Chain A
Amino acid sequence: MSDIDSATLWIVIVGLGVGSFALRFIFIGLVGDRAMPAWLLRHLRYTAVAILPALVAPQVIWPAATDGAFDIPRAAAAAVAFGVGLVTKNVILAIAGGAITLYGLLYLLG
């Protein structure tokens, strides 16, 4: 077992805790209800639709579980979850569709 030095560990835990809170507090806490410029708001409207797909896309194409090899069950599950979400606008149905596709194909191809 590669024991992590206890002092180092606590420096990391506290440092990460303070830093992560600062990142989350910086706008909500410090800007508060002061008006933000229109150009900034225009950009912020697209935060969710930009960051979340960017977070997911590499995991779909190069899944960590297969050491980055393209994986048909995972890619198909992603496509089904997204497609069902687009068509039905129902999150639970979309998750169920993705999960059924993933386990179905893992079973069939595995």
Chain B
Amino acid sequence: MTSSRRKSAYLSGLYDGSPFILVIVPFATLFGVLATEAGLNVLEALAFSVVVIAGAAQFTALQLMVEDAPTVIVLISALAVNLRMAMYSASLTPYIGAAPLWQRAICAYVTVDQSYVVGITKFERAPEMTVPQRVAYFIGAVTPVVPLWYAFTFVGALIGTRVPESWALDFAIPICFLAMIAPMFRTAAHVVAALVAVVVALLAAGVPYSLGLIVAGVAGMMAGAQTELWLERRGAAA
């Protein structure tokens, strides 16, 4: 019984994560191609994707290394791009923090933008899920993403030629995220959080090392939390 429910949670995560196949394949290929152009061999490009498993941070590190930036700056910048992963980790903790440590370690390794957005959407909508079901669902959601991330980094490193810019693949990721964010706007507080985050992100676009993103994210979260409190107080008074 339990294992069959866990299996169906895994399959439903797999289904919900599958649209990202369209994004991950070109994105991973592009990383492999650019890594090769920067002078990495196939093994090094693949190791980069397996060990780091974070697209934007990998592109940042690669770019800075090509520009001969000091190693410390490369590390700090790429980790700053990944700071949002700590926020994802915190946000997932109430849902899967009770799982065994080894499962939490695996979940941590596969926490990326895609698995986070799919996972958190489901967990918020289905509070009745058990912790094992949530873990199974989360692993399901990332199954179409992570192996393809490795495989197509490898393919890209083998091809080593540029993907035509006319394919406009740069925009696959924004479209996918916008499509997934939209159904999350359930209360006025969610809308306020997003609006504040967007405005601050645009104002802070010039802040170095992607720290503007973190500032914008925190500002949005504070705005959402304050709106929620305000709505609660008004509801209590009425």
Contact = CB atoms under 8 A, between A and B. Distances in A.
B183 interface: yes
B140 interface: no
B89 A27 contact: yes
Interface residues of B, number: 96
Interface in B187-213: 189-190, 193-194, 196-198, 200-202, 205, 213
Contact of A58 (B79, B116, B201): B201
B26 to A, nearest CB: 12
Nearest to A45: B224
Given A41-B94, A91-B183, A106 B168 contact: yes
Contact of A91 (B179, B198, B221): B179
A82 B44 contact: no
A46 B179 contact: no
B108 interface: yes
Interface residues of A, number: 76
Contact of A27 (B93, B182, B217): B93
Contacts of A94: 178-180, 182
Contacts of B111: 24, 28
Interface of B: 16, 19, 22, 37-40, 44, 47-48, 51-54, 57-58, 61, 65-66, 68, 71, 74-75, 78-79, 82-94, 96-98, 101, 104-105, 107-109, 111, 113, 116-117, 120-121, 124, 165-166, 168, 170-171, 173-185, 189-190, 193-194, 196-198, 200-202, 205, 213, 216-225, 228-229
- Nearest 6 interchain pairs by C-beta: A85-B182, A50-B220, A46-B224, A94-B179, A17-B51, A54-B201
